[in-house]
Amino acid sequence: MNTTDSPNIHRYLDEVFAGVASMPESQDLREELRGNLTARVSELVAGGLDEQAAAKTAISIVVGFVWSWLALVAGLIVFMLVLARMLFPTSSKDN
């Protein structure tokens, strides 16, 4: 089976994008993810993994990266909120 036709990647992307409006931006993101996953699967297969294990590993790497990125963004948002509260304290008085 050719790694560009990996059913695991197609199934995963179908699940991720289920319910997402079909817009040019979401389609671009889907295709970019497909390309990145396919490239990673090809590297892992070249390294000796079978295609199914390579697809699962590639998906796990992408999911881990996305969660790490989201955690970083959430941390930055909390930091900005704390900083804003320090710089612009609210008064309990209405005057």
Q: What is the pLDDT along the chain (95 residues), one digit of tens a residue?
A: 454 467 888 888 888 889 888 899 989 989 999 999 999 999 999 999 999 999 999 999 888 888 888 899 999 999 999 999 999 988 666 54
> What's the gap between Cα 25 and its chain centre?
15
Domain ranges for the chain, please list them: 3-65
The pTM score is: 0.64
Q: Give the closest residue to 58 by CA, choosing from 5, 8, 1.
A: 8
Q: For residue 49, which phi and psi values (nearest 5 degrees)?
A: -80, 150
Q: Exposed/middle/buried for 30, CB within 10 Å: 0-12, 13-18, 19+?
A: middle
Measured distance CA(41)–CA(36) in Å, rounded? 9
**Cβ-based neighbours of 42, under 8 Å, separated by 6 or more:** 3
